[in-house]
Structure 1
Amino acid sequence: MSRIIAGVAGGAGLANVPGDKTRPTTDRVKEALFSRLDSYGVLAGARVLDLFAGSGALGVESASRGAAEVDLVEQSDKAAGVCRKNAELVNKALRRTVVRVHRSGVQPFLDRLHPHDRWDLVLMDPPYPLPEAELAQVLDTLAPRLAEGAVVVIERSSRSPEPRWPAGLERFAEKKYGETMLWYAEPAPPAS
């Protein structure tokens, strides 16, 4: 069973998406990821976007650890329902609505956003079969919507190629955990 590791709702069990269409991030990977994000100082008061949210475990972990706003974006009805349960759990612990769920495909969600919307942290755990060209399109749309000092984390199979980073976004770290690879990127400094 997946759980929230730390923060206001630390230790609470999370609902999981039934079946094998999603792969929950292991507690080991989640602990390492959030330890790194804590060291970057990116979580406190952050505006977080969890794309391809699955159960929403990464987004609700962010809320439990001090993010100000978290948007979970999930296309599957079943998974979005699980996201709503997990969002409700964390919102109740926080005594306010921090986590919102959007039942939508990722690209249509990004295309509908207000041009001034910006995020401090973007967590992406796309399905392994997602074509690299689709992931590249999402990153291209996302790049201009990042706040200064933002961090983007992509979780993929360690057998997947490195994402194609668009202009305006560059990788600054990567870490392999068995079958899981985490890629970290940030807004690229403007060309001089």
Structure 2
Amino acid sequence: MRIISGTHKGRRITPPKNLPVRPTTDMAKEALFNILTNNYYFEDIKVLDLFAGTGNMSFEFASRGCKEVTSVDTHSGCISFIASKSEEWGFPIATKRVDVFKFLEKTQEKYDLIFADPPYNISADEFGLIHHIVFERDLLLADGLLVIEHAKKTDLSNLAHFASVRKYGNSSFSFFKKEI
């Protein structure tokens, strides 16, 4: 894994081997950020990274200039790794070791972009629950975007606010847009 662009372009991300993660591939991440770059000025947005794992996506957002990135994961090793590298690299990433669903139910913050990369084996109901809580609790700012990464066989197009899906290898990104 590497950071693709920004102040830390090319920097390798080498997490400990014992983390229970499936990082987004560099190819898929590069394709996603090509889409996001056309829609956002990263220096102006507030990002929430759910199921943050290795911090791969959080590091990419921070390297591209996001001033506020929050990484949420239940695994203490993942959160420790993200916090350690964030401090070492000078990234403005706040880490939260908590269940993602509990975090979404309690947070009072709103975000321009929420990225969720849950384990691919979660149930369709759990994928829907991420979406439901984000929109029910109005966690997106005006023109906000929810991006859910999932296996290409998973179809989330039936959920409200669905805008599009992009497939890259075995991964897909479903985009949900808050209407203003």
TM-score, structure 2 normalization:
0.90
Aligned alpha-carbon RMSD (Å): 1.8
Residue 159 of structure 1 pairs with residue 158 of structure 2: no
Correspondence 1:1-192 to 2 at 5 A: 2-19=1-18, 21-90=20-89, 92=90, 98-114=92-108, 117-143=109-135, 144-162=138-156, 165-166=159-160, 170-189=161-180
- Call closer, same or farther: CA 1:64–1:165 in 2, change over 3 Å: same
Partner AA of 1:177 in structure 2 = Y
Change in Cα spacing, 1:69 to 1:126, as seen in structure 2 (3 Å) is same
Residue 129 of structure 1: how far off its partner (Å): 1.6
Q: Distance in 2 between matches of 1:57 and 1:42?
A: 19
**TM-score normalised by structure 1 residue count:** 0.85
SS in structure 1 of the partner of residue 43 of structure 2: coil
Q: CA deviation at 1:123?
A: 0.8
Partner Cα distance (2:41, 2:171) in 1: 22
2:142, 2:134 → 1: CA distance? 13
Residue deviations 1:107-166 (CA, integer Å, cap 9, x gap): 11112212xx21001111100121121222222111211001111111111122226524
Give the conservation status (yes or no) of the 8 Å contact 1:52–1:126: yes
- For residues 165 and 76 of structure 1, the distance between their equivalents in structure 2, rounded to whole angstroms, comes to 28
Task: Give, in whole Å, the separation in 1 of the partners of 2:153 and 2:16.
Answer: 24
Equivalent residue pairs, number: 178
Looking at structure 1, the residues matched to 74 and 157 of structure 2 have their Cα atoms a distance apart, in angstroms, of: 21
**Retained in 2: the 8 A contact 1:87–1:101?**
no
Which consecutive residues of structure 2, in runs of 5 or more, have no partner in the other structure? none
Distance 1:68 1:164 in 2: 33
Q: Distance in 2 between matches of 1:45 and 1:37?
A: 13
Which residues of structure 1 form unaligned runs of 5+? Answer: none
